[in-house]
Amino acid sequence: MTGTDRPFILFAHSAYRLGEAYEARQGRCPHVHVWSKADLLPRLGEADVLCLSGFWDNSLLDRMPQVRFIQLCSAGYDHFDIEALRARGIRLANAAGANANAVSEHAFALLLALTRRMAEARDNQVKRHWRGMISELDGREDELAGKTMLVVGLGRIGRRIARIAKAFDMRVLGIRRTPGTLPEVDHIGGPGDLRALLAGTDVLVLACPLSAETRGLIDAEMLTAMKPSAYLVNVARGPVVDEPALISALAEHRIAGAGIDVTAVEPLDATSPLWSLDTVVLTPHTAGETRRHEANVIELLIGNLGRLERGEPLLNGVV
């Protein structure tokens, strides 16, 4: 993608206002935004660049002869055939880091909703019920200071979660593929250390990518290793957790609760017990969906178009 011709950008998303954000940034390339997969398909033949999330399936590869670059609106890219992209000379970059602030803040919103019993407070508000003081210690709200958080995945989101945890006077442990040191983490272990570290963990936060290594990572064995007083917060991907095992652990009060932004199948089936468990705070995969999201993605896109033109490595380049 070099020369004086400006590439045609095809933005595709059912909700994110990517075309408007590009125009607000005074983007100079011709472009169009489509709001459905049905509208995406007939425009694929025109596109040099795709910026999308959610509409992708690998059958599209045979319908986009000119596309040379795909900018994702999200961090996850496990649904792309990486080798097929590489064989066709198509570059791919994800949006890792674009939502680091949003997702890390959401992780704490879920955690605080659990420890401060905000769902119960909201229910009481709707019923106009003023709850009295509680004598039983286990029935009261809890504090984060002094507790131990274990963050699985120490990318930009995981590291910011760790920094926020430090502001709450928490001890922070981490898991990543290459153990080492980070200023915001007290101890970093490798994947093989997960079970041992869970035994002393009060809050487990999942902020890792979905991969062959992380799929089903938190299974029945790992849930058994957790304290009955511990919380799980998942802002990674639903399949990182064995969902039936988590439901059993919650229903049997083998862990204290879960803050969940992602589920194994989305939308979550209406019959799932996760909807009704009173120790669960559930959001519909909205951790990264803030008023700044489109602007952050467009900043990455414009930066990467410049890098492609100059022959430089992509920001968040996957292929």
Catalytic pick among 106, 159, 176, 237: 237
Locus of tokens 């920094």? 163
- Is residue 129 part of the annotated active site? The answer reads no
Sheet-wide strand order for 31-34: 31-34, 9-12, 49-52, 69-72, 91-93
Catalytic pick among 213, 266, 309, 312: 266
Catalytic pick among 285, 289, 292, 299: 285
- Is residue 68 part of the annotated active site? The answer reads no
Task: Say how far apart CA 223 and CA 214 lie, in whole Å.
Answer: 15
Q: DSSP letter for 8, please.
A: P
Task: Say how far apart CA 300 and CA 6 lie, in whole Å.
Answer: 17
- Is residue 237 part of the annotated active site? The answer reads yes
Task: Say how far apart CA 51 and CA 71 lie, in whole Å.
Answer: 5
**For the chain, where are the alpha helices, taking DSSP H only?**
18-24, 37-40, 82-88, 100-115, 118-126, 156-167, 194-198, 220-225, 243-251, 293-310
Residues taking part in catalysis: 237, 266, 285
